[in-house]
Amino acid sequence: MSKLQLLNVFVTERLSAAAVEIFGAVEKTIAEYQEEICRSAEENERLRRLLDMVIKPEIKLHRAGRSGSVFVIIGSDNRSSGSHQYNPKEGL
């Protein structure tokens, strides 16, 4: 083999090795990003549920005037699915 051919083989091998190394680093980085995306999605879902509990509670208690009556509103938002009045002096 001539010196030019040897140089060509050497450069080709080095470039191939560098390409494999770069590809491995890219694969590792992508895997790390995918893990971070998964963790972020789980955290977002947890925070969304927490926010829903704060903004749209399932049960709301409202005191009405001096009678001591308590209104229990059951629902997942401001449009309640039902309303029941409880007077602690009389029971349900």
Domain spans, the chain:
1-55, 56-92
The mean per-residue pLDDT over the stretch 64-81 comes to 57
Task: Give the model's pLDDT for residue 63.
Answer: 64
Strand ordering across the sheet containing 59-64: 59-64, 69-74, 82-86
Query: Measured between alpha carbons, how far is 40 from 25 in angstroms, rounded to an integer?
Result: 22
pLDDT at 79: 46
pLDDT at residue 92 above 60?
A: no
Cα(56)–Cα(75) distance, integer angstroms: 8
Query: What pLDDT digit, counting tens, does each position of 7-56 carry?
Result: 999 999 999 999 999 999 999 999 999 999 999 999 999 999 999 988 88
